[in-house]
Structure 1
Amino acid sequence: MPNIGPYTLPNPVILAPMAGVTDRPFRQLCRNLGAGLVVGEMVSADPSLRNTRKSQLRLDHTGEPEPIAVQIVGGDPDMLANAARFNASNGAQIIDINMGCPAKKVCNKAAGSALLKDETLVKDILQAVVEAVDVPVTLKIRTGWSPELRNAPRVAELAQAAGIVSLAVHGRTRACGYKNTVEYDTIRQVKQAVDIPVFANGDITDARKAAEVMNYTGADGVLIGRAAQGRPWIFREVVHYLRTGELLPAPELAEVERILTAHMDALYDFYGDYLGVRIARKHVGWYLQQHDEGSAFRKTFNQLEQQQQQLAAVAEFFRDTVRRKGMAA
C-alpha cells in the first residue's frame, strides 16, 4: 500500500478534494464506505479569509480519523508557508498544495494550475512550504498549462527534489478544464520520472477504469472526485475490485436510501437548518439523477425549505421508485 510520509494508507483509493463538495460530512461518509484517504476542500492561503464562516467550516475536522489532510491554495511562497504552519497547528497531518484547480477565479490570482506556467515560482513555493512544517507535504497538479505546455514530468522532478512526499496528477491541462478526454500518457511519464508515490486522477468513473488506469500509468493509486458525487460507495467498489478482480453488485435501493438519509442528517447537523437544507439539494440531485427521469423530482425537491419536508420527499421518492420497478418486473 502507498505511503504518504509516515502514513501507510489502508488502500490506494483517495477522495479528491473538491470545493463545495468534500466537506466534513462527505469526507466521513466516503471514509466509512472505503476511501483510503480523504482530502478537505481547498482553503485559501490568504489569512484575511481565515475567519469567514466558509473557512471555519472547511477547517473543521472534528471526529475524523487520522491522517487529516488539508489542501491549501495560493500563489505566494511566504503566504503558502504561513498557511501550512497555521493548518498544521490546527491539526492538519498532511498539507496538500493545489496546483491543479482550473477555475478562473483561482487562476486569475496566479494560483492553482496557473502556477504551472512558472516553474521557478513552483520551485520556490514547494521549498517554502516543505521547510515551513514538520508534517508531510503533497502536491496536486495537472499535466500542464495547455496541450502545448505539458510540463508535469518536469514539475514532478522539482517536487521530489523539494521534499514533496507524493503527487496527484489530473490527466488534463488547465486549458482543457473538465472537457476533452483525459490522457494518461503524461501521468505515466510522471511516474517514470520520480520515485515518490503518484496518484492518477481524472475520469476514473468505476472500478474497472481505476484498475486499467493504474495498470497503464504505473500509478500507486487513484484519486476519485466527481464520480463519487451521489455514489460514495464507489470507493468500496474500487477497493474490492483491486483486491479480488471481482465487481461488487450495485447497492440495493434500500441501501442507497439509508446512505442518502444519513448523509442528509449529517449535513443538517453540520451546517444547521438554513444552509443544511440548501446544501442537501445538490447532493440529493446527484444521488437520484439516474432514477429521476426528466429531473421532475429534483425541480420539486429544490423548492422545499425544511429538513422534515426534504426527508419525507426522499422517503416518498424511494417508495415510488421501488413500486414502479416492482410493477415493471
Structure 2
Amino acid sequence: MAGVSDRPVRILCRTLGAGMAISEMIHSDTNLWDTKKTDRRLDIRDEPGPISIQIAGHDPKLMAKAARANEERGADIIDINLGCPAKKVLKKAAGSALMRDEVLCAEIFRQVVNAVQIPVTVKMRTGWDHLSKNGPAIAKMAEELGLQAVTMHGRTRCDMYKGGAEYDTIQRTREAVQIPLIANGDITSAQKAREVLSATGADAVMIGRGTQGDPWLPGIIAAQLDGRSLSRPSVDVQIATVAKLIREIQLFYGEQTGVKMARKHMQWFLKRFANGLEAWSHLNPIVDPDEQYQRFIELIDGGGLRDGTERTG
C-alpha cells in the first residue's frame, strides 16, 4: 500500500508474525527513481525474507527493466500491480486499468518473467466493473506465462472500496488456476479468514487496510489459522509498540516528513478505542518529533486507553 507499507511498517508486521509484507508500489520507470520518495520505497535494508517488491506501470519493457533492477537490489519476488484503483495511477494506464487490456497484460507478464530469475506474482482485482469480471481469465493467462502466484481483491476497480468484498470471483479463479491463490478484501479477523478460505479454496489471505492501526492482526490470523492461540497484548504494550514505530518512522523519513507520516499511524491506532479520538485531538497539532513521541508514550500512564473500550473490526 503506497504511503503505508514502508520499511518500518513492514519490519514491524513481520516481527509480529506476518508471513510476508510486500513493498509499496514502485513506478516502473527507473529514470524516475532518483528521488528521496522512491529511494525510501526501494529501501529493503534489514528486512527478513522473502522480500517482495511491487512494480506498477504499463510499458512492458520498462516493467521488465524495473523487475531486473529490483532483483539486483536483493528482491526475492517481483509483484506486478494490476489492482490499484487510484485515479492518478489510472491516468498513466497502470494498476487496475491494465485489466481492460488483456493483450497488454500478457506482454507485461511475458517480459517481466523473462527478465528475472526470481518468482513473479500479480495482484489484481476481480475486473474493471461488474460487466467485465475477467480476473479469472487474466489469472489463467498469468499462470500460462510463468507467474507463480495470484492475489485477488474481491472488488472491481469501479467498486473502489465501497460495499463488501465478494468472493465468488476468487472461487472461480481457484477453479481456473493451479498456482497459489491469495484472497484479499475485508479480512479483519481469523474467523473471517477461515470463512474466506473455505468459500474460495484460496491458499492464503492477504491483509491490507485491516493492518492500519493494528499491525498485530496478520500475526494473530496466521497463528490462529495454524491452531495456535495468540491475541493482542495489553493496551500498554500496544502503545509502547506504536510509539517505537513512530520513532522508526521519524528516523526513516527525517523530522518534518516523519512527523507527518507518523500522524496517520497514531490516528489509525487511536480510532480503535472508544476515547481514542479525544487523545488524537491533542496529538495531531504537534510538529516537534520528540514531543510527538513523548506525548504519545504518555498515554500509557495518563491517556485512559487502558480502561477504554477497544473497538472491534
Matches within 5 A, 1:1-329: 18-244=1-227, 248-291=230-273, 293=275, 295-322=277-304, 325=307
Aligned-partner Cα distance in 2 for 1:111–1:80 = 11
**Which 5+ residue runs of structure 1 have no aligned equivalent?**
1-17
Q: Which runs of 4+ in 1 moved over 6 A?
A: none
Superposed displacement of residue 140, structure 1: 0.4
Partner SS for 2:70 = helix
Query: What is the aligned-residue RMSD (CA, Å)?
Result: 1.5
Partner SS for 1:238 = helix
Identical columns (%): 45
Superposed displacement of residue 262, structure 1: 1.3
The amino acid of 1:315's aligned partner reads I
Is the 8 Å Cα contact of residues 18 and 219 (structure 2) preserved in structure 1?
yes
**Which 5+ residue runs of structure 2 have no aligned equivalent?**
309-313
Q: TM-score of the superposition, structure 2-length normalised?
A: 0.95
Q: Deviations over 1:136-193 (max 9, x none)?
A: 1000010000011000110011000110000000000000001121100000110111
Change beyond 3 A, Cα 1:292–1:303: farther
Is the 8 Å Cα contact of residues 126 and 154 (structure 2) preserved in structure 1?
yes
Partner SS for 1:139 = strand
Superposed displacement of residue 86, structure 1: 1.1
Partner SS for 2:123 = strand
Is the 8 Å Cα contact of residues 253 and 322 (structure 1) preserved in structure 2?
no
Is the 8 Å Cα contact of residues 292 and 298 (structure 1) preserved in structure 2?
no
2:311 corresponds to: none
Aligned-partner Cα distance in 1 for 2:268–2:166 = 26
Aligned-partner Cα distance in 2 for 1:183–1:216 = 10
Is the 8 Å Cα contact of residues 273 and 305 (structure 2) preserved in structure 1?
no
Alignment length (residue pairs): 308
Superposed displacement of residue 245, structure 1: 7.1
Q: TM-score of the superposition, structure 1-length normalised?
A: 0.90
The amino acid of 2:126's aligned partner reads T
Change beyond 3 A, Cα 1:34–1:324: closer
Is the 8 Å Cα contact of residues 144 and 152 (structure 1) preserved in structure 2?
yes
Superposed displacement of residue 278, structure 1: 1.2
Superposed displacement of residue 313, structure 1: 1.3
Superposed displacement of residue 26, structure 1: 0.2
Superposed displacement of residue 250, structure 1: 3.6
Is the 8 Å Cα contact of residues 235 and 306 (structure 2) preserved in structure 1?
no
Is the 8 Å Cα contact of residues 121 and 147 (structure 2) preserved in structure 1?
yes
